[in-house]
Every structure is written in structure tokens, then in C-alpha cells.
Amino acid sequence: MGFLKLTRNISYNALARDIHVFSAMLVMLLMLFFAVSGFFLNHPDLSDSDIATTSTTLESPQWLNQYTDWAANYAHNGLKLMLWLDTAHDIRGVDYEFEWDDFDALLIVTLQSPGSNTIIEYFSQEQRIEIEQSPFGLLDTLNNIHRAKHTTTLWRYTSDFSAIVMIIFCLSGLWLALINKNTRRASSQWFVFGSSLFLLVLYLMH
């Protein structure tokens, strides 16, 4: 019985070691990304957001000028305008919002992505399109991706998956530290110290 118990423990420990190692390899780049971008989130003064805004005027396509029911169908027509801008002028975003101004007969489209903010104005009476693009710097773009701000559903799923794997990585590492007789005491002391420091910081925030 003692031999079977020892064999079982060795098997569990080997499994925990494999889980710890391979979970780290699976999300290593993601962990580095979240660590680095998290650092810059805490230091907005290091932002590189001084990139100039650009304004562009386009002549609206004929098929768009033929629409007359803008007040009732501005969202539907706006989607067609977005598709045209995407294919013809490489202008796109992840999140979008439509607004119709009856007084000026004006359609306003707001496009947002992790790397830019774009405002599109279509003047139906004047048949022209005004586009104002505000690109973000690399650090601001990474920060937005870190926060899953204006990102795709695929990135949100990837972020959730990486969070689960990181939890497994941490728990398996804790298990390996505690089962090792040579490092158990020191590991426990560092764990208590780090956890106490974390809880103290949380307490002092209030």
C-alpha cells in the first residue's frame, strides 16, 4: 500500500510539473504582453498619443446620393456606407455608432478600434463625406488591447482563455512549491509575505 501511495504521489507531482511547464509555454507571450502593457497603463505620462489627426473630404458615390429615406433608414444606409469605405478606402473599425441630424440632414458615423478613432460625416444635401481620423500611438493601442477596449470577440475569448491558463499556472506552481520539502518553508513564507502585502495595499486604497 505504501508503495502504491508513493507511486501515486510521484505521478500526481509529475503531472502537476507538466501542467505548470506547458501552461507557461502556452501563454508565455500573452503573460509578457499583459505585464508590459499593464505597466504602461499605470504610467499614462509615457503615452505616445501626440499623433496628428487627419481630415479627408470624399465625393460620395452616386448610389449613396440616391437614397432619400435617411431619417427612417439612416442605420441601414450607414452600414452600406461603412462597407464602401472599408472596401474602397480601407477605413474600418470594430465598434460603430450611427447618429442622424434632421436639421442638417447629416449622418454621423463613429468608428472605434484599439488603434484609432474615426468620425465620418455624410452631408446628404451637399453629397460629400468628411472623415476625421485620430490614430493612437503604439503604447495607447496596446493599452486598449489590454483592456479589451473596442476589440473583437476573438480577442476577448483569447483573453479569457489566457486568464484561465494563468490561473492553472499559478496554482500548479504553488502545489509544486509546497510539496517540495526543501523549499516548502521558504515558499510558504514568501507566499504569506506577498499575500499580506497585497491585502495591505488593497486595504490602504480605501
Query: What is the identity of the amino acid at 193?
Result: F
Mean pLDDT of the chain: 89
d(CA 13, CA 20): 10
The answer to whether residue 124 is domain-embedded is yes
The mean pLDDT of 113-138, rounded to a whole number, is 93
Encode pLDDT of 131-183 as tens digits: 999 999 888 999 999 999 999 999 999 999 999 999 999 999 888 888 888 88
Reported as type and span, the H/E element at residue 18 is: helix 2-41
The domain of 93 spans: 54-135
The mean pLDDT of 64-89, rounded to a whole number, is 92
In the sheet that 128-135 helps form, which strands lie side by side, from edge to edge? 54-59, 128-135, 116-123, 106-113, 95-101
Which pTM does this prediction carry?
0.79
The answer to whether residue 105 is domain-embedded is yes
The answer to whether residue 63 is domain-embedded is yes
* Closest CA relative to residue 65, chosen from 119, 93, 107: 107
Name the domain count of the chain. 1
Say whether pLDDT at 78 is over 60. Answer: yes
The answer to whether residue 90 is domain-embedded is yes
- SS3 call for 32: helix
Say whether pLDDT at 6 is over 50. Answer: no
Supply the pLDDT for residue 118. Answer: 96
